Homo-oligomer: A and B are copies of this chain.
Amino acid sequence: MTEYTAPLRDMHFLLHDMGGLAQVREMPGFEEADGDLVEAILEEASRFASNVLSPLNQSGDTEKASWNATGVKMPKGWPEAHQLFSQGGWASLSAPAEFGGQQLPQLVGALVEEIWNGANLAYTLFPMLIRCTQQVIALHGTDQQKAMFLPHLVSGKWGGTMALTEPHAGSDVGAIRTKAVRQPDGTYRLSGQKIFITYGDHDLTENIVHLVLARVVGAPEGVKGISLFIVPKILPNEDGSLGLRNDVHCISTEHKLGIHASPTCVMAFGENEGAVGYLVGEENQGIQNMFLMMNAARFAVGLEAIGISERAFQRAREYANERIQGTEIGSNSEERVPIIKHPEIRRQLMAMKTRIEAMRALSCTIAISMDIAASHGDPKIRNYHQQMVELLTPISKGWFTENAVDITSQGIQIHGGVGYIEETGAAQYYRDSRILPIYEGTTGIQANDLVWRKVLRDSGSSIKRLTDEMREVQLALEAQTNQNLVSISWSLNDSIENLLSATDFILEISPYNQKRVAATATSFLELFGLVCGGWQMARSALVASKKPKENKHDTFYTGKINSARFYADHYLSKTAHLSKLITSGSMAVLEGEDLFK
């Protein structure tokens, strides 16, 4: 028994049947990513995930990353696994070829990253951070910085971090106090404390590249005075060899609910002579430069949500097939049956499965837009897809992660009492997933980002254009003869209407009642997420309905239609409630100023 098997069949469906790969292969630079190559990559990733990463998941949780004054020690087997990962070229999958990367589409990168997350979430944070660090330096670094850092990041030889948070500056990045002092040689000396730094220290790589937000002495207050620095753990010499130890140290790690093997570090910069830092981009432009990394990371957290959900689903499905308990309802037989025969267990498995399918399809749609936005020849099309990426990133971060918490909870529930026992594993997924709606910006932060920056700022034009795309799918479904498809199309139609009325409502009230908009933002995010998921399920059902009839051993395509029907019945039907809540239910949130004193 393997603990985790990559869901290659569904990925195949998204790449090929749904036409995702063909779409990105039209972009310049991706011509070579043909079906055979991509299938080979996914199969190799699947093997690596099942054989190397997944077996370290539970032992990592139990053993944990451990701190002492010399640094953080990773659990047994982890350094070797990272070495294999790097040697396999996995850290460079979507990195540009000029720095040694394989320059594969984000679409492929996203599916592979989901596989790593399903195999071992606590580990996968590490290559995710390396990738984000690569991207920031590739986009904003000087040629010298690129030459010095990128090859080592692309090869996976060096680690990366995002060092933003300080005790008094979490969601409020503008409150950062870490200080940077300009030196005559053009470098800076940084001093200050950062907290919640994921993989801030470890023994997986010989060096770690911290991307640090700090305030140059004399800079303006708030977000406009924040600059971005590269602060290596060990300073590289001109020739690329490792030089002096920099003045940056992990002074403790947190005891967390989950992702125990991922060290969450308190980092002290410049406790002695000051930590040497290299400015990235211009002074005081740090927030803009970091935003790229934050957005990439937010999309990546969505992939974490899918991966951990899939793992929880596979374990629950296996248990439901094996566990014998009770007799079949409506049958006179006294024979005990596997619990999968009980409708309540099937309902829970369907609730897990269908949301995972919806999220995976949506994440592919976002990744495709990333690829088009990066490489299409027509700037109008690039721009449209960039807007779609920005509009949908809060859904990936906000809605996917809330789903993951619920899905991993259902994974426990299907196990009954056994699910509460740590050895079973289901409890770990529940603990691990609980960070997802928090880090890289809580769901509330995503919801406000969505409403203010992505919907209201362009007066709803992006979201309305997206609903036009949805409407095309809906009309195509409505024209089918299969009653299930027609029924799904009606649900999708109602849901789009519900989303549009909620959108119109917040557009109307936002000029004069910002608090009321803020009070409904999370409901709006959920509503939008549900509709986006329904759109993807409807697309999948439409594609599946055109496939030849299967035999009884393979019901993948009819299963897709059934999934879409379940999703419509159970999730799209929530949109009426949410739309009503947004348009009329927010007053009681704001009344009673002293209620919580």
Contacts and interface: CB of A to CB of B under 8 A. Distances in A.
Contacts of A256: 420-422, 427
Given A518-B329, A573-B581, A594-B552, A346 B431 contact: no
Contacts of A254: 420-421
Contacts of A555: 592, 594-595
B405 A562 contact: no
B416 A442 contact: yes
Contact of A325 (B171, B519, B574): B171
Most chain B C-beta atoms within 10 Å of own C-beta, residue among A195, A257, A443, A576: A257
A203 B87 CA distance: 55
A562 B588 CA distance: 6
Contacts of A439: 417, 420
A580 interface: yes
A67 to B, nearest CB: 14
A172 B325 contact: yes
A419 B437 CA distance: 11
Contact of A519 (B346, B412, B591): B346
A330 B594 contact: no
Contacts of A349: 596
A591 B421 CA distance: 32
Interface stretch (A68-76, A210-218, A564-572): A564-572
Contact of A336 (B172, B521, B565): B172
A565 B592 contact: no
Contacts of A342: 444, 518
Interface stretch (A48-56, A96-104, A316-324): A316-324
B443 A562 contact: no
A303 to B, nearest CB: 19
A236 B447 CA distance: 63
A435 interface: yes
Interface in A384-437: 405, 409, 412-413, 416-417, 419-423, 427, 430-431, 434-435, 437
Contacts of A465: none
B345 A444 contact: yes
A175 interface: yes
B329 A514 contact: yes
A309 interface: no
A543 interface: no
A559 B592 contact: yes
A170 to B, nearest CB: 6
A331 B565 CA distance: 45
Contact of A437 (B325, B413, B435, B585): B413
Interface residues of A, number: 97
A196 interface: yes
A46 interface: no
Contacts of A501: none
Contact of A431 (B317, B431, B443, B566): B431
Interface string A212-227: 0000000000100000
A587 interface: yes
B431 A417 contact: no
A569 B594 contact: no
A590 B343 contact: yes
A38 interface: no
Contacts of A584: 569
Contacts of A592: 555, 558-559, 562
A566 B178 CA distance: 42
Given A346-B590, A573-B577, A317 B519 contact: no
Contacts of A547: none
Contacts of A165: 417
Contacts of A47: none
Contacts of A585: 569-570, 573
Contact of A587 (B317, B336, B565, B597): B565
A168 interface: yes
A522 interface: yes
A516 B349 CA distance: 16
Contacts of A377: none
A595 B569 CA distance: 18
B595 A566 contact: no
Contacts of A421: 254-257
B255 A336 contact: no
Contact of A343 (B172, B405, B437, B515): B515
Contacts of A549: none
Contacts of A417: 165, 170, 195-196, 438-439
24 contacts: A168-B324, A168-B325, A171-B325, A256-B427, A257-B422, A340-B596, A342-B518, A343-B518, A343-B519, A343-B589, A343-B590, A344-B518, A347-B519, A348-B444, A405-B409, A413-B442, A413-B444, A416-B442, A417-B439, A420-B435, A563-B588, A565-B588, A570-B585, A576-B577
Given A171-B416, A321-B596, A417-B439, 6 more contacts: A256-B422, A321-B597, A329-B518, A346-B519, A558-B592, A562-B592
